[in-house]
Amino acid sequence: MLQTIRENSQGIIAKAIVGLIIVTFALFGVESLIGLANSEKPPAEVNGAEVSAVELQRGVELQRRRILAQMGEDADPAAIDENLLRRQVLDALVNQEIQLQSAEEQGLYLSDAMIDQMIVSTPDFQIDGRFDPNQFESTLRTVGMTPLMYRQLLRKEQLIGQERSAYQLSAFATPAQVKQLLALDRQTRDIAWTRLSRDAVEEGLEITEADLKARYEANLDRFMTEPQVVLSYVELNQADFADPEAVSDADVRGAYEQELARFEADEERDAAHILLEVGDAGEAEVRAEADALRQRILDGEITFAQAAEEFSADPGSAAQGGELGFNARGVFIGPFEDTLFGMQSGELSEPVRTEFGYHLIKLNDIRATEAPSYDERAPVLRAELAAQQAEAGYVEALERLADLSFSSADLEVPAEELGLAIQTTEPFAETGGSSELTNNSKVLRAAFSADLQDEGLNSAPLELTRERAVVVRVKENIPARQLAFEEVEAQLEAELRQERGSEALSARAEALIAALSEGKSLDQVEPDLSWSVAADMARESDQAPLAVNRLAFEMARPAGEQPVYAEVALNDGDLAVVELSAVNEADLSDVDAEMLRQMGGFMANRYGQLSYQARLEAIEAAAEVERN
């Protein structure tokens, strides 16, 4: 065979291939051939720049973690739509790349030194107010990132933020625009309105059976039931494994002794403090000031309470002489708490440095939590120990249930082996039922899965909570069916009455507006109605219903003495006919320069946001994005 290979390698074609490989190696390196063998397209390309699969995978994982954290301890990863999650993360990465390219095109820049400064000044990466590399790396590991990945992410976010800030901070509002907005905001209007009742109109409508049947026949597709299932199931509950009587007195006594030790260590301390902020002052200067103030207190020149009221920068305690009251461990920041719980009653501490500044701490009193007696705690401890023992039995039974349900053709064997009752659910559709079980997402997915629907299998154990699990199987499939006319007759009548009532009510309002616009009075057109009046009504005033108020400020200004009219739907389904008789301009004589400045700042910020949003829409529309 080797001789054959040697002979074939002497041909012209073989030599050409070898020559091509040599040239490729020389020009591009071995990576070029590896790339040819592994040429999978990236998930997306933005103006020729790739959004890598690694970025997408990392983004999906981070977003999945956030979602599961929000779902709580009973989070179900299977409830997350992976395709939807991937699309959302990819869209976000594409938008980020578009914005990053825009920022770089503007010549925006972030040096490595600036990134370093941001990292070392981030509180999450600090211990006792100082940057700690181990803390930095540990924090990043919890979110699946490396320091290099974090630096790249920080750079992107900051560059995008620079461009956003450039638009937002460069926007401005002219004094004329500010005054115009203030004038519109303070403008008032003279209105009146009258209510047209929907109920009164609907009561007078006649809905015949023929009308209802015609509507039924025209909407047969709407009146189909959903396919439903009835499940059989067995439930395993950890509480059933708890047996307080099986817990020995010795175990209860041991648990009580352990609790006593914790009670003896559990104490509260009544403290007061004075906070001196570092601020613009130098570190050494503030420390010297704290030392001097401490000495003045020790010399009796000033009391601690007086010093706190005069010098403390803590607004919550300064007025109370620095008093913080009784607190246990876990309330205060590390250095403060460590100092406090190492002091003797009546002692005044040396200055303590925290991220807030320098503290002088005074310990007023110490009180220990009084431990309850054995007789008080024994029933509780016995129940807790029984619950702990039940957990082991529950886990063992859950594993046994999984094996039995997998190997059994029904639920009879698992129920008999574990002493469980076979129960039945009410019929329910894929959208869920009315009970906790039939509305559980895990149960719904299992009930309508191919394994249970087509194969007739038992489900795997489905954990409803950490202490409860069920195994389900389909007992009955109820196919979709056409609802009879009699079953939906009441619904049809309600729909028709509402629709025709709306039409009749709107026609009545239009006729009333037409008559009023011709100069007729309300008494002439609708003697049973009356006007509700709101003179000089301001925006968002409670003089009229909210819908009436908003419509009044959207209506065109009256031309001359003739009011203008419009209709609006109210929250309860009634209609209101609104009369606008006058628009009253605002008096701006009391507007001072400070108010104009604040309003101008608000408007400029809003204009900046809108400008940047318009910029984003423009660059996103112009970007060439290819999703693979």
DSSP 181-230: HHHHHH-EEEEEEEEE-HHHHHHT----HHHHHHHHHHTGGGSBPPPEEE
Q: How confident is the model over 585-593, as a mean pLDDT?
A: 86
Do 395 and 447 reside in the same domain of the chain? Answer: yes
Q: Is residue 251 a part of any domain in this protein? A: no
Q: How confident is the model over 378-396, as a mean pLDDT?
A: 85
∠ CA 162-163-164, nearest 5°, is 90
pLDDT of residue 63: 86
pTM listed for this prediction: 0.55
Structural domain range at position 360: 267-368
Q: Determine what percent of the chain is predicted with pLDDT higher than 70.
A: 92
pLDDT of residue 429: 94
Do 407 and 474 reside in the same domain of the chain? Answer: yes
Task: Say if residue 532's pLDDT is above 90.
Answer: yes
pLDDT of residue 448: 93
Measure the CA–CA gap between 182 and 241, rounded to whole angstroms: 70
Mean pLDDT, the chain, integer = 87
Q: Determine what percent of the chain is predicted with pLDDT higher than 90.
A: 53
Q: Cβ distance 103 to 163 under 8 Å?
A: yes
pLDDT digits (tens, 9 = 90+) for 288-323: 899 999 999 999 999 999 999 999 988 888 888 999
Among 17-26, 197-206, 289-298, 372-381, the range scoring the smallest mean pLDDT is: 17-26
Q: How confident is the model over 419-446, as a mean pLDDT?
A: 92
pLDDT band at 446 (very low <50, low <70, confident <90, very high): very high
Do 313 and 412 reside in the same domain of the chain? Answer: no
pLDDT digits (tens, 9 = 90+) for 45-92: 999 999 988 888 888 888 888 888 787 766 777 678 888 889 999 999
Measure the CA–CA gap between 174 and 30, rounded to whole angstroms: 63
Place of tokens 């009532």: 501
Q: Cβ distance 620 to 98 under 8 Å?
A: yes
Beta bridge partners of 51: 44
Among 280-284, 319-323, 442-446, 468-472, the range scoring the smallest mean pLDDT is: 280-284
Q: State the CATH number of the domain containing residue 105.
A: 1.10.4030.10
pLDDT band at 611 (very low <50, low <70, confident <90, very high): very high
Q: How confident is the model over 168-179, as a mean pLDDT?
A: 91
Among 15-24, 302-311, 530-539, 541-550, the range scoring the smallest mean pLDDT is: 15-24
Q: State both tokens at 98.
A: 């578009």
Do 62 and 163 reside in the same domain of the chain? Answer: yes
pLDDT of residue 11: 53
pLDDT digits (tens, 9 = 90+) for 254-296: 888 887 777 655 678 899 999 998 877 678 888 989 999 999 9
Q: Is residue 603 a part of any domain in this protein? A: yes
pLDDT of residue 141: 84
Give backbone dihedrals phi and psi of 511, rounded to 5 degrees, phi first: -65, -40
Q: Which of 368, 391, 410 is the last residue of a domain?
A: 368
Q: Cβ distance 545 to 570 under 8 Å?
A: yes
470 φ/ψ sector (left φ>0, alpha ψ -120 to 50, else beta)? beta
Do 60 and 9 reside in the same domain of the chain? Answer: no
Q: Is residue 468 a part of any domain in this protein? A: yes
Task: Say if residue 615's pLDDT is above 80.
Answer: yes
Do 103 and 196 reside in the same domain of the chain? Answer: no
Q: Is residue 223 a part of any domain in this protein? A: no
Measure the CA–CA gap between 318 and 273, rounded to whole angstroms: 8
Do 459 and 546 reside in the same domain of the chain? Answer: no
Q: Is residue 502 a part of any domain in this protein? A: yes
Task: Say if residue 29's pLDDT is above 80.
Answer: no
Task: Say if residue 6's pLDDT is above 50.
Answer: no
Q: How many CB atoms lie within 10 A of CB 136?
A: 18
Task: Say if residue 145's pLDDT is above 90.
Answer: no
Measure the CA–CA gap between 497 and 504, rounded to whole angstroms: 10
| CA distances (Å), origin 359, targets 269, 311, 397 | 16, 11, 56
Place of tokens 């709306």: 502
Q: Is residue 299 a part of any domain in this protein? A: yes
Do 154 and 60 reside in the same domain of the chain? Answer: yes
Q: Which of 478, 505, 529 is the last residue of a domain?
A: 478
Q: Is residue 512 a part of any domain in this protein? A: yes
Residues in the chain: 628
Q: How confident is the model over 164-177, as a mean pLDDT?
A: 91
Q: Is residue 350 a part of any domain in this protein? A: yes
Q: How confident is the model over 165-184, as a mean pLDDT?
A: 90
Do 129 and 239 reside in the same domain of the chain? Answer: no
Q: State the CATH number of the domain containing residue 292.
A: 3.10.50.40
Measure the CA–CA gap between 443 and 234, rounded to whole angstroms: 12
Do 166 and 53 reside in the same domain of the chain? Answer: yes
Q: Which of 431, 459, 478 is the last residue of a domain?
A: 478
pLDDT of residue 35: 46
Task: Say if residue 30's pLDDT is above 50.
Answer: no
Q: Cβ distance 585 to 187 under 8 Å?
A: yes
Task: Say if residue 415's pLDDT is above 80.
Answer: yes
Split into its structural domains, the chain has a count of 6
Residue 608: its H or E element: helix 593-622
pLDDT of residue 441: 87
Task: Say if residue 177's pLDDT is above 50.
Answer: yes
Measure the CA–CA gap between 395 and 241, rounded to whole angstroms: 10
List the one residue out of 338, 363, 331, 367 whose CA is nearest residue 348: 363
Q: How far apart are the first and last CA of the chain?
A: 44
| Reduced 3-state DSSP string for 305-341 | HHHHHHHCCCCCCHHHCCEEEEECCCCCCHHHHHHHC
Q: How confident is the model over 555-572, as a mean pLDDT?
A: 92
Do 597 and 572 reside in the same domain of the chain? Answer: no
Measure the CA–CA gap between 328 and 337, rounded to whole angstroms: 9
Task: Say if residue 421's pLDDT is above 90.
Answer: yes
pLDDT of residue 80: 80
Do 512 and 525 reside in the same domain of the chain? Answer: yes
pLDDT digits (tens, 9 = 90+) for 343-357: 999 999 999 998 888
pLDDT of residue 575: 94
| CA distances (Å), origin 301, targets 261, 273, 304, 319 | 43, 18, 10, 20
